């Protein structure tokens, strides 16, 4: 038996999301006349309500230092990382 999904709007938060039809609560949800399923067959993702005039939260950039003038940790190497011989890099002797 296939599950039938519907797109609803939460009456409190105004977020829109997809839920199974049998879980609709008329006191909490407004059933929308919108597609609930993507062409791939998956339920559509949540559409969050943002009050007009408010700014969305700034997204954090991955791989940047958390403090001013702090280098990106992905671009620096540890000073005592092992060299070719398995010894710390500052003690590796070159041939």
Q: Is the pLDDT of residue 71 over 60?
A: no
Q: What does the pLDDT read at residue 19? A: 97
Give the pLDDT band (50/70/90) at residue 60: low
What global pTM score does this model have?
A: 0.53
For residue range 31-50, list pLDDT tens digits in order: 999 999 999 999 999 999 99
Sorted by where each begins, the domain ranges of the chain are 1-50
For residue range 7-27, list pLDDT tens digits in order: 999 999 999 999 999 999 999
Give the pLDDT band (50/70/90) at residue 30: very high
Q: What is the per-residue DSSP string for the chain?
A: -PPPEEEEEETTT--EEEEEGGG--TTTEEE-SS--B-TTSSBPPPB----TTPPPPPPPPTT--SSTTPPPTTT---TT-B-TTSSBGGGPPP-
């Amino acid at each position: 038996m296939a599950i039938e999904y519907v797109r609803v709007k939460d009456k409190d938060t105004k977020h829109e999301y997809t839920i199974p039809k049998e879980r609709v609560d008329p006191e909490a949800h407004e059933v929308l006349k919108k597609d609930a399923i993507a062409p791939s067959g998956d339920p559509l993702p949540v559409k969050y309500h943002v009050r007009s005039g408010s700014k969305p939260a700034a997204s954090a950039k991955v791989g940047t230092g958390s403090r001013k003038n702090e280098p990106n940790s992905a671009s620096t190497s540890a000073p005592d990382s092992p060299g070719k011989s398995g010894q710390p890099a500052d003690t590796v002797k070159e041939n």
